[in-house]
Every structure is written in structure tokens, then in C-alpha cells.
Homo-oligomer: A and B are copies of this chain.
């Protein structure tokens, strides 16, 4: 898998000259604004994510600016997906901590993700229910010209 912060275990494999025009190669050393653009998150949010421990340690240029790697981007991708499941930021931080803690946390990570998986399945089901209701109502509203006055009665989808 690829969406995993490595904690402070290992420096970025490449050390591109950290000057002004930031490198945008495939190895990746992206500035905060580049990452903001790619992920749709604001720079504020990225800094905040780092501060609360939702990001692994992020490299810095010699002037102290953040340089995100492709690994960071992949992690942010996972974070985005987890976020979408309704997982709280606090729980994601917990997961990030487990990842940083090392491989002995595999069982707990598995439990955490399995629980999330159940949430996702439940959510999908609920959304499908909602879809049925929406379809029913939309159909009703679409053919409204020939419906009587007190129309929205009976027949719950």
C-alpha cells in the first residue's frame, strides 16, 4: 500500500535543491501551496493537520519551508477518503499514531479499519435508501401537472 506516513523513520529518498522554483518532478518535493492545489485542502489546513499529528513528519527546506513528498500526497489521499467516511479527525490522528508506532500495531490498525469498513457499508446502504426516497419524490414532482391538490399523501417509498 502506499497511503502511509512513515513517521520520522526515514528521510526523503531524494534531496532536490530546495531553492525558490520548487521541484515538481516525479520524486516530488512540493511546496505547501502546490499540495493545497493538488489536494483541495487549504495551506492552513495542511499546517493544522501537521500540528495535530495527522501528518507524518514533513521535510523542510533549508529555509524552513515545508517540502511535501509523494508519500505525503498519498497519505493525504487516504486521509481524504477516511474523512469522507465520516471518520473524525481525532480517530484519524489515532490511526496515524499507530502507523508511526510501527508494525506491532498492525492488529489494532486492522481493527480500526475494519470498524470503519463496517461504517462505510452501513453508510452506503443508508444512501441507497435515501436514493430510493429521492427518486420517488423526484418522479412525483416531475409529473406534478396532473396530480390532485392534496397530493403528497400515502405511499412512503
Stretch at the interface among A16-24, A25-33, A39-47, A137-145: A137-145
Asked if B127 and A123 sit within 8 Å, CB to CB, the answer is: yes
Partner of A131, one of B103, B107, B121, B131: B121
- Give the distance in Å from the alpha carbon of A151 to the alpha carbon of B9 in the complex: 13
- Bits for A44-86, please: 1 = Cβ < 8 Å to B, else 0: 0000000000000000000000000000001000100110110
Question: Taking chain A's interface residues, is the majority helix, strand, or loop, or is none over half, making it mixed?
Answer: helix
Knowing A116-B134, A137-B113, A141-B107, say if A156 contacts B3 (CB, 8 Å): yes
Asked if B113 and A124 sit within 8 Å, CB to CB, the answer is: no
Asked if B1 and A130 sit within 8 Å, CB to CB, the answer is: no
Q: How many copies does the complex hold?
A: 2
* Count of residues in A whose CB is under 8 Å from the partner chain: 47
Instruction: Tell me if A153 counts as interface (CB < 8 A to partner B).
Output: yes
Asked if A131 and B120 sit within 8 Å, CB to CB, the answer is: yes
Knowing A3-B133, A74-B156, A113-B138, say if A124 contacts B128 (CB, 8 Å): yes
Q: What's the least CB distance linking A105 to chain B, in Å?
A: 9
- Give the distance in Å from the alpha carbon of A157 to the alpha carbon of B140 in the complex: 40
Asked if A81 and B133 sit within 8 Å, CB to CB, the answer is: yes
Q: Which of A110, A141, A153, A157: most chain B CB closer than 10 A?
A: A141
